[in-house]
Amino acid sequence: MAEPDGSAIYGIWHCIVGACSQQINRDGWLTSDGQQDGTAWAPDDLALKFRRPVKEIIRALAFLSSEKVGWITTYDSSDAQVTPKCVQSDVKLTPKGVEGRKEGIEEKEGIEEKLRVDAKAVLSFLNEASGRKYRELDTNLKFISSRLSEPEVTVDGVKQMILRQVKKWKGSDMEQYLRPETLFNATKFDGYYASKDQPIFDKLDIKGGKPKSISSAEQDLAASDRLIASFEKQPEPEFVPNMDFLKKATKL
């Protein structure tokens, strides 16, 4: 979802579908007994059930029942002839699942399948860029698909991130970390992705005053040259004879 809190909304949607699937009457009604005339689940009921903040539940219900999404259909209590526990704004509502549970499951499966297809494409791109041969295993794909499901993360953006990390780490000790479990780790990915547009500068070109990109081998050679130069610039110590020692030696 393109919403800033899309992951939270989508997570609550999964919880709603799961709750409906556990009801005896699986008609998609968010009520105590799964029937239209049952007691409606209020946001505070769902918050307790899903262990999420009430504000988050209200926000998810409002978004999922909006015209542009329509995953949840809402009914006025006077039309449905029920007495819900909660009112959202000043309208009494009984939420109903997406035209039945089947459509919701199909939607979920469609999203997951697209994420898997995109994850395979990204893995193939990583292999090509890094020269590796990672297989399309769930252990590799799950890292990629999880990050692709996050808000504002795109396939093109991920490919750009991969190219930057390959350029930065190729030929160095960090090259071994050009792998899905590192690049798409939940705690590290955001930093890599946020830097995807940043240039890689290793040192300054003193003559031109502009950043100059160099390889790891060039860095090691430059460091060695600087160390040798520092020793060459040091003046040789002046030899001063110890006169007291010479006097004693002549007496012997």
Query: Of the candidates 64, 99, 134, which is a domain's last residue?
Result: 99
d(C-alpha 172, C-alpha 74), whole Å:
58
Q: Is residue 223 part of a domain?
A: no
d(C-alpha 44, C-alpha 86), whole Å:
8
* Cross-strand bridge partners of residue 96: 29, 73
Q: Is residue 189 part of a domain?
A: yes
73 and 141 both lie in a single domain: no
pLDDT in tens, the chain (252 residues): 567 778 888 888 888 888 877 777 666 777 777 777 777 788 888 888 888 888 888 888 888 888 778 777 766 544 443 333 333 333 333 444 444 445 555 566 778 888 899 999 999 999 999 999 999 999 899 999 999 988 889 999 999 999 999 999 998 999 999 999 999 998 899 999 999 998 876 544 444 455 445 445 555 555 655 565 565 555 655 655 566 655 555 555
Q: Is residue 181 part of a domain?
A: yes
Q: Which domain holds residue 29?
A: 6-99
* Cross-strand bridge partners of residue 203: 212
Q: Is residue 204 part of a domain?
A: no
91 and 117 both lie in a single domain: no
CB 193 within 8 A of CB 153: yes
CB 158 within 8 A of CB 8: no
Q: How far is CA 41 from the centre of its chain?
A: 32
Q: Is residue 118 part of a domain?
A: yes
22 and 46 both lie in a single domain: yes
Q: Whole-model pTM? A: 0.43
CA dihedral 24→25→27→30, nearest 10 degrees, is -70
